[in-house]
Amino acid sequence: MKTLVVVGLACGLTVVTLSTVSAGRRCSYVTESHSTAAVECDAKDIVDTAVAAGKFKTLAAALQAAELVETLKGEGPFTVFAPTDEAFNKLPAGTLEDLLKPENKGKLTKILTYHVVPGKVMAADVVKLSKAKTVEGSEVKIHVHDGKVKVDNANVIATDVAASNGVIHVIDAVILPQ
């Protein structure tokens, strides 16, 4: 957590601005004398956090094509097992292009919602599970071996990427519902 405090004098009043950055969220508190005048938060949701990371461009494009961006910007909380751009590149040639076509929106939505678990499930909790029900409706299998976690056939390569409406766990493959 980073905190920035600015103290100034305006119109005879002491103005204190406190900005806090924690878990992808920036909040500014402006206090005049002894009363709070304003609180402003700039929180990054699941989508904005993924986009800011720079390695989820394909996922962002797929969410857009499936019209799921607003859903994942919603209140949540959500746990997203997010495949990287490299993970999407492992799909057979032409698969991604085919999924992004408007006529395949239902199929794309099914795949993407299979990557989302309702609630905020942190890594410490994921390792205690053998399966988790997804927003798509079926269950992902979770395996822990030698301290490494797999979700179906994907390795979890980064965990607990915090967002204002949930958490992201980065995976190295696109997982597919049965």
CB atoms within 10 A of CB 175: 19
Q: Which domain does 155 fall in, by range?
A: 46-171
Note the pLDDT of residue 93.
94
Q: Is residue 176 in a domain?
A: no
In this structure, what token pair is assigned to residue 8? 């100034």
Same structural domain, 18 and 80? no
24 with 67, same domain: the answer is no
pTM for this one?
A: 0.77
User: Quick check: is 177 in a domain?
Assistant: no
Q: Which residues in the chain land under pLDDT 70?
A: 1-43
Spatial distance between the Cα atoms of 35 and 99, rounded to a whole number of angstroms = 54
Q: Which helix (H) or strand (E) holds 144?
A: strand 139-145
28 and 69 in one domain? no
- For residue 175, the model assigns a pLDDT of 97
Same domain, yes or no, for 28 and 71?
A: no
Residue type, 171: I
